[in-house]
Amino acid sequence: MKKSTSPLVYVVDDEPEFAGAIGMLLETAGHTCRIFTSPRNFLRSIQPADCGCILLDVRMPGMSGLEVQDHLARRNFRQPIVFLTGHGDIPMAVQATRAGALDFLEKPVREKTLLSRVRAALKQDARRFKNAAAQRRGRQRVDELSTRERQVGELLAQGCSSLQMADQLALSVRTVEMHRLRMMRRLGVKNTAQAVRLILEAAAAGT
Amino acid sequence: MKELMSHRITRPLPGKRLAPRSPLLQQLKESQERLRAALECGNIGVFDWNTQTNRVIYIAPRMAMRDQALGAQEVDASHWLATTHPDDIARARGEVERAVCGETDGFSMRYRVKGPADGGPAWLVVHSRGKVRERDASGRAIRILGIFEEITHVAAREEADRVRDAQLARATQVAALGELALSLAHEINQPLATLTAYLQASTRSVRQKSITKAELAAVLQRSERQAQRVADIVRRLRMLYRDRQVTEESFDLLVTLQDVLHLLRHEIDTLNIQVKASCRFKKLVITGDRIQIEQVLYNIMRNAVDALQHYGRGHATLTYSIQRTGGRILIRIANNGPGIPANILNRMFEPFFTTKPKGTGLGLSISRSIIEAHRGSLTLDTTLKQGAAFVIDLPARRKVRTP
């Protein structure tokens, strides 16, 4: 996750003129584009940490848009995909949407439709990034807990009361309460439920 | 004729009655037996027609002459006409007449005769083949000998086949048209989509005042090129559907070649393809259908350009050469692309065979039929180590048939 998070719109279409024209249109709406006329080059270039969305042609020589989508999914790439197609091919649209495409647009595409879909796609990806960043921060905070705080947190996640924790850890209830308070503060959470979520997420990421 | 055979046989073959008393009679009997076997096994009948007496002797096995034993009978030839289907009489009579008067040596014809009165089909189809054996001094036939066979079931099967073939051809045609329409729709849609995006982008940029005049002019020029592409496609469509008859005119092949290259200029420029020509003529007039020849050249050049699509920039080369040897003109169009895989070599000219995701598979098959209609040939040069080459061999100049 070292790449910059300024969002990119990837335009993948074997027709260079079309890709260029779409790129130009997107730039007038303030987007930054990267254009690929070869699906293979695109797959070599995109990184999972790249923030952005993908405008993907369906029929391309060598590799279809659906195959590109499949490749990305198998590599766990999450950038939203909007398909652009020259054929009103319903089964293909169904397949693409089932496989997680955000939308399936027919060429020539209306400016409003295209721009609103791209905005929606970028928003979705930004959310993904925000969530990912929040998770990362949460994990980091859990890692920074002291041994006692962590123990208290884990018991909390198991649903133990302070009294039960005191019993299990052979500490006074007051001490447990103190560790618990410090843990909440370090995690930067307002309530027990948030704390439990962070701890469980960190545990899940750790396994 | 069939009806004739359905009469009771009144006079059995002579050999049936006579006891073999002499070697000659024995031989005759054996000969009769062989004839009978041949007729029975082949399910055919024999006729022997004397045109002077106008009597016909028929010898027929059981055949479709339902339940009639092998036998012979003699009837008046006029009886034949009485049992023949009215629609077939004129044609059958004509055939016979031509043989009789000496125009032909004999006849081979199909016609319908009345079916047996006791059921079955109303008309039976008979194939009759006759040969003139004797003629008089004036050349008129005296004796015609031949065979006939009932082929109602064969004719019915042929008719069914014909109907099925016609249906199949029609279905194929409809499918081909659908396919063609689909591929055309896609081909037109592609530049249209680009054009739309250019116009949307330039409108926005002008509104935002974020584009210079020079930039805008460049975009408009590109837009125009896209519109031109649509026009080219429509032009080709017209070429395809213009009167399919080969019209003959004399035209300069080199001009046509230049026209085709012009149609492909956009792709050639975009892909940075080098076009190399080898031709020592300034002008090369040939005779044929200019539009169709243009279409063939377009198809082949287009294939070459497509083959060069993913080739390293600056290395892609399209070569054409024109030679004249004797009365033939050889046009060779080659590209240094990836070549044609051996496993599809013999399918290249099949209709609907295509390796392109957006192709119809009709280009080469149409091209070949056009060139063959011009008494030429379109072949693939399979001796190449790299790339692919097509060779069009056309007669240099034919006489233009004046109507």
User: What does the H/E/C string look like for B47-80?
Assistant: EEEECCCCEEEEEECCCCCCCCCCEEEEEECHHH
**Looking at residue B391, what is its pLDDT?**
95
Query: What is the average per-residue pLDDT within A106-131?
Result: 92
Helix, strand, coil distribution of chain B in percent, nearest 5: 45, 25, 30
Q: Do B190 and A86 make contact, defined as CB atoms within 8 angstroms?
A: yes
Q: Please report which confidence band the pLDDT of residue B69 belongs to, taking 50, 70 and 90 as the band edges.
A: very low
- Work out the angle between the directed axes of helices A192-206 and A147-157 (0-180°, nearest 10): 100
- Cα gap B70→B79, rounded to integer Å: 20
**Looking at residue B4, what is its pLDDT?**
42
Q: Among A40-49, A129-138, B71-80, B199-208, which is the least confidently predicted range?
A: B71-80
Residues of B in contact with A29 (CB under 8 A): 204
pLDDT above 90 coverage of chain A, percent: 56
Q: Do B196 and A109 make contact, defined as CB atoms within 8 angstroms?
A: yes
Q: What is the pTM of this model?
A: 0.48
Nearest Cα neighbor of B394 from B319, B322, B300, B302 is B322
DSSP H or E stretch at residue A4: none
Q: Do B222 and A107 make contact, defined as CB atoms within 8 angstroms?
A: no
pLDDT tens-digit profile of A147-162?
Answer: 999 999 999 989 899 9
**Looking at residue A87, what is its pLDDT?**
73
Alpha helix locations (H) across A46-191?
65-74, 90-98, 111-143, 147-157, 162-169, 173-187
Chain B residues in contact with chain A using a Cβ-Cβ cutoff of 8 Å: 182, 186, 189-198, 200-201, 204-205, 208, 210, 219, 222, 226, 270, 309-310, 356-358
Take residue B345 and report the two structure tokens written for it: 């070599």
Q: What angle do CA B39, B45, B46 make, to 5 degrees?
A: 105
**Looking at residue B66, what is its pLDDT?**
41
Q: Do A86 and B193 make contact, defined as CB atoms within 8 angstroms?
A: yes
Instruction: Provide CB contacts within 8 A for A29, sequence distance 6+.
Output: A115, A118, B204
Give the amino acid at A196: V
pLDDT at B402 over 50: no
Query: What is the average per-residue pLDDT within B48-75?
Result: 68
Instruction: Output the average pLDDT for chain B.
Output: 81
Query: What is the average per-residue pLDDT within B313-319?
Result: 82
Q: Please report which confidence band the pLDDT of residue B351 belongs to, taking 50, 70 and 90 as the band edges.
A: low
Q: Please report which confidence band the pLDDT of residue B79 belongs to, taking 50, 70 and 90 as the band edges.
A: confident
Measured in angstroms, the CA of B189 and the nearest CA of chain A are apart by: 6
**Looking at residue B330, what is its pLDDT?**
93
User: What are residue B252's phi and psi, to 5 degrees?
Assistant: -85, 115
- Cα gap A138→A198, rounded to integer Å: 6
Token pair 């003629």 in the structure block, residue = B135
Q: Are B345 and B359 in contact (CB under 8 A)?
A: no
**B175 by DSSP, 3-state: which?**
helix
pLDDT at A52 over 90: yes
Q: Are B384 and B334 in contact (CB under 8 A)?
A: yes
pLDDT at A14 over 70: yes
pLDDT at A42 over 80: yes
Residues of A in contact with B197 (CB under 8 A): 18, 21-22, 24-25, 108-109
- Cα gap B191→B228, rounded to integer Å: 9
Query: What is the number of helices (H) and of strands (E) in chain B?
Result: 11, 13
Q: Are strands B106-114 and B123-135 parallel, antiparallel or unpaired?
A: antiparallel
Q: Please report which confidence band the pLDDT of residue B81 belongs to, taking 50, 70 and 90 as the band edges.
A: confident
From the candidates A11, A13, A14, A24, which should be mutated to test the interface with B, based on the most B CB atoms within 10 A?
A24
pLDDT tens-digit profile of B164-204?
Answer: 877 776 676 666 667 667 777 877 888 999 999 999 999 99
**Looking at residue B71, what is its pLDDT?**
54
Residues of B in contact with A59 (CB under 8 A): 357-358
Measured in angstroms, the CA of A26 and the nearest CA of chain B are apart by: 8
pLDDT at B362 over 90: no
pLDDT tens-digit profile of B103-114?
Answer: 899 999 999 888
- Cα gap B338→B330, rounded to integer Å: 24
- Direct distance between the N- and C-terminal alpha carbons of chain B, in angstroms, rounded to an integer: 45
User: Per DSSP, what are the bridge partners of residue A85?
Assistant: A106
pLDDT at B217 over 60: yes
Q: Among A164-168, A171-175, B368-372, which is the least confidently predicted range?
A: B368-372
- Cα gap A101→A52, rounded to integer Å: 14
**Looking at residue B395, what is its pLDDT?**
87
pLDDT at B294 over 50: yes
**Looking at residue B242, what is its pLDDT?**
53
Residues of A in contact with B189 (CB under 8 A): 86, 107-108
pLDDT higher for A163 or B312? A163
Query: What is the average per-residue pLDDT within B294-307?
Result: 89
- Cα gap A102→A71, rounded to integer Å: 16
Q: Do A108 and B270 make contact, defined as CB atoms within 8 angstroms?
A: no
pLDDT at A202 over 90: no
Size of interface A-B (CB pairs under 8 A): 67
**Looking at residue B319, what is its pLDDT?**
93
Q: Which among B193, B194, B208 is the nearest to A28, CB-wise? A: B208
Nearest Cα neighbor of B56 from B13, B92, B5 is B5
CB atoms within 10 A of CB A66: 17
CB atoms within 10 A of CB A146: 12
**Looking at residue B176, what is its pLDDT?**
65
- Cα gap B382→B388, rounded to integer Å: 8
**Looking at residue B77, what is its pLDDT?**
75
Residues of A in contact with B195 (CB under 8 A): 21, 108
Q: Which among A21, A62, A86 is the nearest to B197, CB-wise? A: A21
Report the chain B residue with the minimal C-alpha distance to residue A114: B197
- Cα gap B66→B77, rounded to integer Å: 22
pLDDT tens-digit profile of B6-22?
Answer: 444 444 455 455 555 68
Q: Do B193 and A18 make contact, defined as CB atoms within 8 angstroms?
A: yes
pLDDT higher for A15 or A42? A42
Chain A residues in contact with chain B using a Cβ-Cβ cutoff of 8 Å: 15-18, 21-22, 24-25, 27-29, 38, 59-62, 64, 86-87, 107-109, 111
Instruction: Provide CB contacts within 8 A for A195, sequence distance 6+.
Output: A153, A156, A183, A184, A187, A189
**Looking at residue A206, what is its pLDDT?**
66
Give the amino acid at A154: E
Q: Do B189 and A107 make contact, defined as CB atoms within 8 angstroms?
A: yes
**Looking at residue B241, what is its pLDDT?**
56
**Looking at residue A2, what is its pLDDT?**
40
Q: Are strands B328-335 and B274-279 parallel, antiparallel or unpaired?
A: unpaired
B123-135 β-sheet, strand order: B71-76, B55-60, B45-50, B141-150, B123-135, B106-114
**Looking at residue B398, what is its pLDDT?**
56
**Looking at residue B99, what is its pLDDT?**
92
Take residue A182 and report the two structure tokens written for it: 């410090």
User: Per DSSP, what are the bridge partners of residue A33?
Assistant: A9
* Residues A105-130 as b or e (16 or more Cβ within 10 Å = b): bbbbbebeebbebbeebbeebeeebe
- Cα gap B367→B303, rounded to integer Å: 12
pLDDT tens-digit profile of B224-257?
Answer: 989 988 887 787 677 665 555 667 788 899 999 9
A81-85 β-sheet, strand order: A32-36, A8-12, A52-57, A81-85, A103-106
